[in-house]
Structure 1
């Protein structure tokens, strides 16, 4: 935001305090207050260009694109020689789908000020939308030549370089953006994602120190950092020194841990943060933690007083195990010892013997003990506060929340009941920090998702969004923060999942989401209509996905949009093999049988085990259960998607990808299909690239206007 040019200042100096107040209000998103100041200014000076521009900027932020364009056009007519106005107009035109007009506006700003970074950033957005990555990099490099410390320029350059495939340079520029503006979530997320495939072959303390603060931050997905952090842990000298314990029985491990010379495990730089926030997926780290667990269990019987040295490690291991839902297999010897420990704890107090409770919590959740109310009301030492909160207080709070959740529909379908029961037992997924979106209008969100489509600009100022099948709330919170000024209804079959979602949303401060229990197969009876419906990874678990889709279509406003996620037949080929093996082994889907399958899979099919273990879903019980043990699933080919979509009277708009590479490859292969909507072509490409969609198609459809 800028003050008016010098020519206006003298004549309108008495209005500058209100203008400054409006700018401060805009910078803190107090738009109503800002508009009050601007209206007062315009009442006195109707032609005050900067006030018109700022009102246009507010209208743009609210999604009133036509109004925004009109106001900024007026500002430019009053004062053409102010580059801010042209950049704002460029972004408005870009949101309206007018790339050529936007290009001209950004060009006008550059003509007025050749060093104006924001104009080059705007051009880069156009070039990226047109798949001209090199042109985008060129525009951003020009911007950096005059201002290398603009964080947005560095971030955009990192993004463009990631698309180009130059991960090393992308990491550099994402890192610069984050260093220049460490509080901006997008910059943190960009840096984390650029490090996704980085595995250390030798220690790099400086890189690890820069990355560790990202853990636990909103928007950061720990799995993006897993290769880097876990490889750093495994290279640490303390970790290496303890390699022999991996093959030792529990008593021998306990003897090693009891030695005064045993190194401090929490001296491994990245280990504490990773146990608190990450999901252990490195085989060496997994073996080490299971060895430590059986050693600490043995110590609980032989030398319980020595456990006090390991209280911080115990709490972190118990939190880590809880988040993974204790997916690691437990030996018969440990099971016997654990049963004995569970009985002893009946007479122990957390105030006097907290370490013994922490040992137990490394194997089983405390909130499932029959004496949990006693443990909840007991006094725990400060060192165990996080363990108590995560394993007792929060689950009990969720149980209370579950009794308050409204039910919008009955759940009568037998398949729906079976699926609900599964998610009541294994709410999916457990998560620490949300993935947050950048607030956009519906049209802008669609253009971001579908850059090849001409999405009409429509003013949906307070869009109604439905998330059908929200699970534990991760998707609902993403939607609530992705659509500006939206109202979100998020429904799910499982009260356990919904209570987790409500607790997390409240904790984060998300107030524009309403959660309710409902069955999609009955949802058409709800007397509401929505601008956008998102249902990812849900319909394929219904007995009749087409019937579920028909219910959603009935709730979608004419001209409304829907994002769906459905399983790919090709992408889930390994899952199909796993399900066949599970059937042959006659395994059910109880937690014990999920752990047993994971233990014996390498013996039955080592290649399949290696491929499945490449997925983060392999390392948490509810995730693995959802991946290969689900009680109901349907899978599709692109041609079957066409039949599914057409049968519901919907228009296919295209697949959404996290990277533009897939669309670039498609357009090079099939230039006769500029919108990339020919599903026969996509079937051909998927057969050649079977992991293109991972295991689930993400695509958008539109209900045709009446």
Structure 2
């Protein structure tokens, strides 16, 4: 077969596009490549460099802010290269970047299933859930759960009409591994949970004549695991509470015999509503080596055993400082009761970079001390359950790494995960109060404080203390709440204060259900926050004991007082970055706080996930 006469033209266009991409002219790159791959030409598939051009086109569309089209062409690439890890990674990057509407095609769903068959669902729950809803049979089952009466749902369950939903592999994977932050799914799962409980566990002839099959047990186990991941955030009615109370009595009576035929099924039903760790003498029950747990319960039992191990670890955590002041003590108590997030995804980086190279990916033209070419000393102030420090040591070359938090429960989770991931010696976890570190003798090249300063009694004083621990020329990464982006949170906090509601599990569940039911129209935007779908995170979102919020002019003023220089923002989704660059082309690296303030005036919710500030302390003269 003679070569296609178009090949020389396509080769020239590809070469030109590569040059344009190196110059970061992504719009021009996309225009050039569109002439080759953008029209879906079948002839182009015979061209030897077609896959390279397809990958470059998807990337150029992404950098140009057109995430939806980038995802379409990345899907085409994966259909050609289903086993290519780089193509899979870029597909996940596009999902994470946020796309308004997913491609509605069988090809996209096939690629999605293939990718997540070998990936952690982690942060992609919304995209996966939306894709599931594009399947007609799955969507019909969800619609039935949303609209039918309880008796109709129970009848549908017995008739097997919900099996398409209950056996969907991606759905089961979601339930075992991630929150699903969509109100549709919460309502559907809450109603299905009730139907499962009343059909199979409630006393009476219906339960005696109906027994779950293998498929139902697998789903009940997955739903119990999901309830644990949400920390039992969904509301329940009196009928459910009565049955759950009877199940507890049955379990407590047979605690010494957890392998008895009736005990483990009862535990599975109970675990859809309550943690097994609430049962008497739970340590003796769940650590018995002689008990062979049912397959559908094993993942949940592993999580409970991990929690029991954390209780031992918490007592072993060293204290670096005392807890100073009433606010610090109240914050400590909150996170002892509700440590979060209970993350599971292993934050593995493809390779560890020097801190200089890592920072260059989101903070340009930095003048850094020589230490940033080697192992940097790092302090994380307010490390919570350890996701940030563990992720960071996976990404950059670190020397001394000190991670501090008020909560021993949070630190115990962090220490267990670090040990589990082979990083026990990489991070030094200690209990400490930032406000008590003024006389601490160590200094650090890099300090991170994500979501912690705004919970202090005097945030500026805490910030000043951390600035004193930063070496000259060092970098500080700080995340703070935006006043503009948290107006709905402010309304919720005001309502809570007016009613004097306490942060008890039952009160939080009732409040969440009222918001889901539309009783507080002004609070409806809270349904878009991932934090809404986990009880500890919901408490942190609207029931926190102490919260300060910021505007960018206020931050600029405080940076001047602290002697810190603003470098850039980090953590913004690619579409927002593209919008900023389009609005402020003379400041493409986003180095002006004044420009960011104008951007936020135009887009008040841009910093819903907090301001991510990259700051630098001036070096020695």
**What is residue 295 of structure 2 aligned with on the other side?**
382
Please state how far the C-alpha of 1:314 moved relative to its aligned partner: 0.9
Residue 652, structure 1, aligned to residue 566, structure 2: yes
**What is residue 147 of structure 1 aligned with on the other side?**
49
Q: Distance in 1 between matches of 2:36 and 2:418?
A: 39
**What is residue 489 of structure 2 aligned with on the other side?**
575
Residue 229, structure 1, aligned to residue 129, structure 2: yes
1:634 to 536, 548, 571: 548
**What is residue 370 of structure 1 aligned with on the other side?**
280
Residue 300, structure 1, aligned to residue 221, structure 2: no
Which structure has the higher relative contact order (CA within 8 Å, separation 6+)? Answer: 2
Consecutive unaligned residues of structure 2, counting only runs of 5 or more, are 1-10, 38-46
2:392 to 469, 479, 494: 479
**What is residue 18 of structure 1 aligned with on the other side?**
none
CA contact (8 A) 1:199 1:228 kept: no
How many corresponding residue pairs?
Answer: 581
Instruction: Please give the secondary structure, in 1, of the residue aligned with 2:614.
Output: strand
Q: Distance in 2 between matches of 1:648 and 1:194?
A: 34
CA contact (8 A) 2:201 2:243 kept: no
Please state how far the C-alpha of 1:134 moved relative to its aligned partner: 2.7
**What is residue 190 of structure 1 aligned with on the other side?**
93
Query: For residues 241 and 444 of structure 1, do their structure 2 counterparts lie closer, same or farther at Cα, with a shift above 3 Å needed?
Result: closer
Query: For residues 698 and 143 of structure 1, do their structure 2 counterparts lie closer, same or farther at Cα, with a shift above 3 Å needed?
Result: farther
Please state how far the C-alpha of 1:462 moved relative to its aligned partner: 0.9
Please state how far the C-alpha of 1:237 moved relative to its aligned partner: 1.7
Instruction: Please give the secondary structure, in 2, of the residue aligned with 1:531.
Output: strand
Q: Distance in 1 between matches of 2:439 and 2:550?
A: 28
Residue 527, structure 1, aligned to residue 441, structure 2: yes
Please state how far the C-alpha of 1:140 moved relative to its aligned partner: 8.2
Please state how far the C-alpha of 1:127 moved relative to its aligned partner: 2.7
Please state how far the C-alpha of 1:251 moved relative to its aligned partner: 6.2
Please state how far the C-alpha of 1:138 moved relative to its aligned partner: 7.2
Q: Distance in 1 between matches of 2:468 and 2:299?
A: 45
**What is residue 243 of structure 2 aligned with on the other side?**
337
CA contact (8 A) 1:233 1:271 kept: no
Q: Distance in 2 between matches of 1:664 and 1:199?
A: 20
Instruction: Please give the secondary structure, in 2, of the residue aligned with 1:382.
Output: coil
**What is residue 542 of structure 1 aligned with on the other side?**
456
**What is residue 515 of structure 2 aligned with on the other side?**
601
Instruction: Please give the secondary structure, in 2, of the residue aligned with 1:364.
Output: coil
Residue 514, structure 1, aligned to residue 428, structure 2: yes
Bigger radius of gyration, 1 or 2?
1
**What is residue 350 of structure 1 aligned with on the other side?**
258
Q: Which moved more, 1:407-416 or 1:457-466?
A: 457-466
Consecutive unaligned residues of structure 1, counting only runs of 5 or more, are 1-113
- Output the aligned Cα RMSD: 3.3
Please state how far the C-alpha of 1:284 moved relative to its aligned partner: 3.4
Q: Which moved more, 1:413-422 or 1:222-231?
A: 222-231
Please state how far the C-alpha of 1:528 moved relative to its aligned partner: 2.3
Query: For residues 428 and 359 of structure 1, do their structure 2 counterparts lie closer, same or farther at Cα, with a shift above 3 Å needed?
Result: same
Deviations 1:589-639 (A, max 9, x none): 222221111122356765434311112222111121111111111111111
Deviations 1:339-379 (A, max 9, x none): 12111112334322212101100001112222312421143
Please state how far the C-alpha of 1:532 moved relative to its aligned partner: 0.6
**What is residue 309 of structure 2 aligned with on the other side?**
397
**What is residue 71 of structure 1 aligned with on the other side?**
none
Please state how far the C-alpha of 1:445 moved relative to its aligned partner: 2.3
CA contact (8 A) 2:96 2:123 kept: no
CA contact (8 A) 2:62 2:94 kept: no
1:469 to 382, 386, 398: 382
Deviations 1:295-331 (A, max 9, x none): 2222213326613542111110001111011111111
Instruction: Please give the secondary structure, in 1, of the residue aligned with 2:85.
Output: coil
1:167 to 58, 67, 84: 67
Q: Distance in 2 between matches of 1:228 and 1:660?
A: 20
1:270 to 139, 157, 170: 170
1:207 to 103, 108, 129: 108
CA contact (8 A) 1:170 1:194 kept: no
CA contact (8 A) 1:443 1:455 kept: no
Q: Distance in 1 between matches of 2:433 and 2:477?
A: 18
Query: For residues 455 and 400 of structure 1, do their structure 2 counterparts lie closer, same or farther at Cα, with a shift above 3 Å needed?
Result: same
CA contact (8 A) 2:177 2:344 kept: yes
